[in-house]
C-alpha cells in the first residue's frame, strides 16, 4: 500500500516537472503572442465590416478596394515571400456582432493584425479587446475621436478625423458663405455623438452653436421628428452625421416641404451611394472626403491603379471614394509589412509603422506616422452632387 502511494506520488511529481519543462521556452522561441498569424508562407489578417444591411455599400466597397491591391501584391509573390491572407466577417454594422467577430479573429483564427474596420459604434467597442490582445489595427472607416484620443498604441488611423472634416466645412460656410444658422442631424450612437461634438467645437470657434439638434436611431429610417424640429428652427445649414439611407430620406422630405438649406454630410455617409439614392433631389448636397475622387485617375497614378485593379478583380463594382480609401489602407499595410522585414512580429510591425515617414501613396499627399502620432493623413476634400453625380468641387453650387 505504501509502495503504491509512493509510486503515485512519484508519477505526480514527474507530471508536474514535465509540465514545468513544457512551459519553459527555448531561448530562441518568441515570447507571448507577438508572432501569431505569421507562417513561412502567409500573413493572416482579419477584418470585420458591414457586408450586408443598411451600411453594406460601405463595407463592400471598402474591403474590395483593399483586396484589389492585396490580390495584386500576392500575385507578385507577396511581402518578403509571404502571401497576405485576409479573413473577412460580416458584422452588419452591429456592435455586438463586430465584437464577436473580433474575438473570433483573435482567439480562433489567430490573425496577425486587424484591418479595414467600418464604423464608429462598431470600432469603439473593440478598443478594450485590441489593447488587451496587443494586436495592431490598420485602417478604419471612421474619423471618431475616441480612436485617436487618448493615444492608442495599437491603432493606426490613416484618414483625417470627423473633427477635421467638420471644421473645414464650417470654416468655408461661415467665412466664405456667411452662414450663421446651423442645425445638426445625427445618428443616435457613438458615431453621431462624435459628429455632434465636432460640429459644436467647430462652431464655437466663431461664437456659434447649433440652433437645433435632432437625431434618429441607427438602423431605422425614422427621421420625421428630426425633420420637424430642424425645419422649425429655420436653419441655413444642416450638418448630417448619418448613413446614406436615412440621410437621403431626410433630404427628400425636406425638398418636398420646400426646405432648402445647405445639406452637408461627412465622408462616412458614402457619398456615391447617397448621390445614387437621391437622384435629382441631391443637387447641391455637400460631402467632405478624406481621399481624392476616383475621377482624378488621369492625374493621380494610384487612383488610376485602384480603378484598373478594381475592374480586374471586382468587375461588377463601380469606383468610389470608399473604395479608394480601402485601397490606400492596403498600400499602407503592405508598406508597414515591407519595412518590418522578414523577421516579423507584432512589435516589429508597430515599430515599422511608426517609422513610416512621407510615404508617397500616389494620391498627392504622403503618409507619416510616429511613436506618438498614429494618424497618417490630415487632408480634407470637398465634393458636391451636381447633375446626379458626386464631383470634386471646383465651384460651389447650391440648390434653391
For the chain, which residues make up each domain, given as ranges? 42-159+297-369, 163-289+382-392
Q: Which neighbouring-strand residues pair with 270?
A: none
CATH 3.40.50.2300 fits 42-159+297-369, yes or no: yes
d(CA 249, CA 256): 11
Task: Calculate the CA dihedral of residues 143, 189, 136, 71 and round it to 10 degrees.
Answer: -70
Q: Give the pLDDT confidence score for residue 35 in this predicted structure.
A: 73
Instruction: Region of 291 please: left (phi>0), alpha (psi -120 to 50) or beta.
Output: beta
Q: Give the pLDDT confidence score for residue 26 in this predicted structure.
A: 38
Residue 139 exposed, middle or buried by CB count within 10 Å (0-12, 13-18, 19+): buried
d(CA 192, CA 231): 19
Q: How far is CA 299 from the centre of its chain?
A: 25
d(CA 239, CA 342): 47
Q: Give the pLDDT confidence score for residue 394 in this predicted structure.
A: 73
The tens-digit pLDDT sequence of the chain (400 residues) is: 433 433 343 433 433 333 333 334 333 334 455 679 999 999 999 999 999 999 999 999 999 999 999 999 999 999 999 999 999 999 999 999 999 999 999 999 999 999 999 999 999 999 999 999 999 999 999 999 999 999 999 999 999 999 999 999 999 999 999 999 999 999 999 999 999 999 999 999 999 999 999 999 999 999 999 999 999 999 999 999 999 999 999 999 999 999 999 999 999 999 999 999 999 999 999 999 999 999 999 899 999 999 999 999 999 999 999 999 999 999 999 999 999 999 999 999 999 999 999 999 999 999 999 999 999 999 999 999 999 999 988 777 665 4
- Equal fold, 42-159+297-369 vs 163-289+382-392: yes
Between the CA of residue 148 and those of 5, 7, 151, 322, 348, what are the distances in Å?
Answer: 61, 60, 6, 20, 21
The CATH number assigned to the domain with range 163-289+382-392 reads: 3.40.50.2300
Amino acid at each position: 500500500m505504501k509502495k503504491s502511494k509512493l509510486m503515485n506520488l512519484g508519477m505526480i511529481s514527474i507530471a508536474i516537472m514535465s509540465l514545468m519543462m513544457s512551459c519553459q521556452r527555448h531561448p530562441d522561441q518568441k515570447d507571448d503572442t507577438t508572432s501569431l498569424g505569421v507562417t513561412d508562407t502567409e500573413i493572416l489578417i482579419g477584418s470585420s465590416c458591414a457586408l450586408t444591411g443598411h451600411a453594406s455599400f460601405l463595407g463592400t466597397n471598402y474591403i474590395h478596394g483593399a483586396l484589389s491591391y492585396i490580390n495584386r501584391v500576392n500575385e507578385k509573390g507577396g511581402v518578403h515571400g509571404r502571401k497576405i491572407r485576409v479573413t473577412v466577417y460580416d458584422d452588419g454594422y452591429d456592435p455586438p456582432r463586430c465584437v464577436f467577430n473580433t474575438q473570433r479573429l483573435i482567439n480562433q483564427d489567430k490573425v496577425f493584425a486587424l484591418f479595414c474596420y467600418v464604423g464608429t459604434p462598431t470600432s469603439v467597442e473593440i478598443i478594450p479587446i485590441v489593447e488587451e490582445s496587443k494586436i495592431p489595427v490598420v485602417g478604419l472607416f471612421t474619423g471618431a475621436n475616441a480612436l485617436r484620443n487618448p493615444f492608442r498604441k495599437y491603432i493606426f488611423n490613416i484618414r483625417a478625423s470627423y473633427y477635421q472634416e467638420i471644421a473645414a466645412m464650417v470654416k468655408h460656410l461661415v467665412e466664405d458663405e456667411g452662414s450663421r444658422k446651423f442645425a445638426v442631424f445625427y445618428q443616435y450612437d457613438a458615431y453621431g455623438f462624435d459628429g455632434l461634438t465636432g460640429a459644436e467645437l467647430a462652431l464655437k470657434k466663431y461664437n456659434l452653436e447649433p440652433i437645433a439638434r435632432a437625431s434618429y436611431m441607427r438602423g431605422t429610417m425614422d427621421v420625421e421628428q428630426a425633420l420637424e424640429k430642424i425645419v422649425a428652427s429655420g436653419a441655413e445649414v444642416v450638418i448630417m452625421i448619418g448613413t446614406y439611407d436615412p440621410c437621403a430620406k431626410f433630404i427628400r422630405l425636406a425638398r418636398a416641404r420646400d426646405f432648402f438649406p445647405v445639406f452637408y454630410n461627412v465622408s462616412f455617409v458614402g457619398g456615391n451611394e447617397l448621390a445614387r439614392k437621391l437622384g435629382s433631389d441631391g443637387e447641391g448636397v455637400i460631402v467632405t472626403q478624406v481621399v481624392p475622387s476616383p475621377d482624378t485617375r488621369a492625374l493621380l497614378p494610384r487612383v488610376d491603379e485602384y480603378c484598373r485593379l478594381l475592374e480586374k478583380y471586382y468587375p461588377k463594382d463601380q469606383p468610389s471614394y470608399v473604395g479608394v480609401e480601402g485601397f490606400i489602407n492596403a498600400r499602407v499595410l503592405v508598406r508597414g509589412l515591407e519595412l518590418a522585414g522578414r523577421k516579423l512580429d507584432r512589435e516589429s510591425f508597430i515599430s515599422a509603422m511608426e517609422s513610416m515617414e512621407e510615404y508617397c501613396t500616389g494620391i498627392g499627399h504622403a503618409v507619416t506616422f510616429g511613436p506618438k502620432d498614429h494618424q497618417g493623413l490630415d487632408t480634407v476634400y470637398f465634393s458636391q452632387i451636381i447633375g446626379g453625380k458626386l464631383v470634386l468641387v471646383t465651384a460651389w453650387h447650391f440648390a434653391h
